[in-house]
């Protein structure tokens, strides 16, 4: 989502965020029953400095620093990452961003060296990084200072070549809904100063929950998490088989339940679902095929679905190469009904299978205690 100048009017009024001499904060970030990260920060009028231990894809210690100008706008952002759990990757990386009036200039790691990347911005911008909630709170505080029911400002992620837009909508005295460049929506609780008290991404693109806590023992938790990485949260997988003369393959990512209720909560009812995680689920057939009775010509497609208590729908979409949340109905080739059956045993990790039945096959989606299937017929 690219930022437009018309969307930053509130940001201009919110640059000078009042800050006491020193404001601390601490967060615990969870993905279901797993603790994904812990974070603490200290904020002054001229600097935001925080540290975080995060467990995916490997255990890392991150230190971030934002330096502010006298008017409260961001002047510089630095993120230093230490690999505390071993494994692949350098032991330390450093990235920086210098915020100018119309451009953000970044120095980011690339292989064994670093490169310079620039992003134009239409006005005062804020640094942002996924799963760093001191930076998220900084935007929320600016929204609080600006007032009103809607607030927007440019945000820049390290290495991005264009700005995104943070949008914050007020839903009551202490409730907000926010989106950060297409990451969200997040349902957020704040205090009277705009500080982040709690955040939920359930049902959105980032399914975390965040809780503000009195403090976290970073010195103890760093070593404790060092040898307990969560790995890739939704690892890639594939399935391939033949259906008559067609070679059929599905390439997708596999999220896990992690103690959560999936359908109706993590995956909302009656809304288009990416049918997995990360990039859009890819469906390839080398020859014409009937999917649920609808002809699908040889080619490459993406699969979406609409889970519903009254029945599931599988969507075959012509668009490819997109992130899973970038669904566009104008590219739909077909929508077909799926057969849904309850499962006696829980499926912890989302699974797509293609099971041969003579010259035909059945493509099935299984997660939690639900299996949705559709027949693939050779043409």
Tens-place pLDDT, residues 299-325: 999 999 999 999 999 999 999 999 999
Mean pLDDT, the chain, rounded, equals 92
Which pLDDT band holds residue 84 (cuts at 50, 70, 90)? confident
In terms of Cα–Cα distance, which of 275, 201, 224, 284 is closest to 249? Answer: 284
List for the chain the helix, strand, coil content (%; round to 5): 10, 55, 40
93-103: average pLDDT:
96
For residue 274, the model assigns a pLDDT of: 96
For residue 281, the model assigns a pLDDT of: 98
pLDDT tens digits for 175-203? 999 999 999 999 999 999 899 999 999 99
331-338: average pLDDT:
97
Reply yes or no on whether the pLDDT at 288 is more than 50. Answer: yes
For residue 264, the model assigns a pLDDT of: 95
For residue 358, the model assigns a pLDDT of: 85
Which pLDDT band holds residue 19 (cuts at 50, 70, 90)? low
For residue 307, the model assigns a pLDDT of: 98
Residue 197 token pair: 């008290």
For residue 7, the model assigns a pLDDT of: 44
Reply yes or no on whether the pLDDT at 85 is more than 90. Answer: no
| Angstrom distance (rounded) from CA 198 to CA 283 | 38
83-93: average pLDDT:
74
Reply yes or no on whether the pLDDT at 254 is more than 70. Answer: yes
For residue 9, the model assigns a pLDDT of: 45
What percentage of the chain exceeds 90 in pLDDT? 83
73-90: average pLDDT:
85
Lowest mean pLDDT among 35-49, 51-65, 88-102, 286-300: 88-102
For residue 219, the model assigns a pLDDT of: 87
Reply yes or no on whether the pLDDT at 273 is more than 90. Answer: yes
pLDDT tens digits for 360-373? 999 999 999 999 99
Which pLDDT band holds residue 89 (cuts at 50, 70, 90)? low
Residue 240 token pair: 């391939």
If one counts every other C-beta atom within 10 angstroms of the C-beta of residue 226, the result is 18
Edge to edge, the sheet with strand 281-285 lists 236-243, 246-253, 281-285, 299-306, 312-317, 332-357, 360-378, 289-291, 294-296
| Angstrom distance (rounded) from CA 206 to CA 56 | 14
What percentage of the chain exceeds 70 in pLDDT? 93
Which CA distances in Å does 283 have to 251, 270, 332? Answer: 7, 22, 13
Which pLDDT band holds residue 223 (cuts at 50, 70, 90)? confident
For residue 44, the model assigns a pLDDT of: 94
| Angstrom distance (rounded) from CA 109 to CA 116 | 9
For residue 32, the model assigns a pLDDT of: 96
Reply yes or no on whether the pLDDT at 174 is more than 90. Answer: no
For residue 33, the model assigns a pLDDT of: 95
In terms of Cα–Cα distance, which of 194, 244, 264 is closest to 358? Answer: 244
For residue 17, the model assigns a pLDDT of: 52
In terms of Cα–Cα distance, which of 135, 140, 151, 116 is closest to 17? Answer: 140
Reply yes or no on whether the pLDDT at 4 is more than 50. Answer: no
Contact 164, 128 (CB under 8 A): yes
Contact 29, 40 (CB under 8 A): no
| Angstrom distance (rounded) from CA 144 to CA 150 | 10
Reply yes or no on whether the pLDDT at 275 is more than 60. Answer: yes
């Amino acid at each position: 989502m690219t930022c437009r100048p018309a969307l930053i009017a509130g940001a201009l009024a919110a640059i000078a965020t009042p800050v006491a001499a020193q404001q601390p904060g601490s967060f615990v970030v969870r993905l279901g029953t797993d603790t994904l990260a812990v974070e603490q920060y200290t904020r002054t009028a001229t600097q935001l400095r925080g540290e975080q231990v995060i467990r995916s894809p490997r255990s890392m210690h991150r230190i971030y620093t934002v330096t502010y100008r006298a008017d409260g706008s961001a002047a510089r952002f630095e993120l230093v990452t230490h690999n505390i759990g071993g494994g692949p990757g350098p032991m330390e990386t450093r990235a920086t961003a210098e915020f100018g009036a119309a451009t953000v200039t970044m120095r980011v790691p690339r292989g064994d060296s670093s490169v310079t990347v620039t992003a134009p911005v239409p006005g005062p911008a804020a640094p942002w990084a996924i799963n760093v909630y001191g930076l998220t709170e900084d935007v929320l505080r600016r929204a609080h200072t600006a007032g009103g029911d809607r607030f927007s400002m440019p945000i820049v992620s390290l290495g991005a070549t264009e700005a995104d837009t943070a949008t914050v909508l007020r839903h009551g005295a202490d409730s907000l809904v926010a989106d950060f460049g297409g990451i969200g929506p997040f349902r957020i609780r704040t205090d009277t100063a705009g500080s982040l008290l709690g955040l939920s991404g359930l049902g959105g693109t980032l399914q975390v929950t965040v809780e503000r806590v009195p403090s976290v023992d970073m010195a103890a938790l760093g070593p404790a998490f060092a040898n307990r990485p969560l790995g890739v949260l939704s690892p890639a997988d594939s399935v391939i088989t033949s259906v008559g003369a067609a070679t059929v393959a599905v390439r997708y990512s596999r999220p896990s339940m992690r103690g959560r209720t999936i359908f109706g909560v993590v995956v909302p009812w009656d809304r288009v679902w990416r049918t997995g995680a990360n990039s859009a689920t890819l469906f390839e057939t080398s020859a014409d095929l009937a999917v649920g009775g609808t002809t699908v010509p040889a080619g490459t497609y993406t699969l979406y679905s609409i889970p519903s208590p009254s029945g599931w729908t599988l969507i075959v979409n012509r668009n490819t190469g997109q992130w899973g949340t970038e669904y566009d109905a104008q590219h739909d080739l077909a929508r077909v009904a799926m057969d849904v059956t309850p499962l006696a045993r829980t499926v912890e990790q989302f699974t797509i299978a293609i099971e041969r039945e003579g010259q035909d096959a059945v493509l099935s989606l299984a997660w939690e205690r639900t299996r949705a299937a559709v027949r693939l017929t050779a043409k």
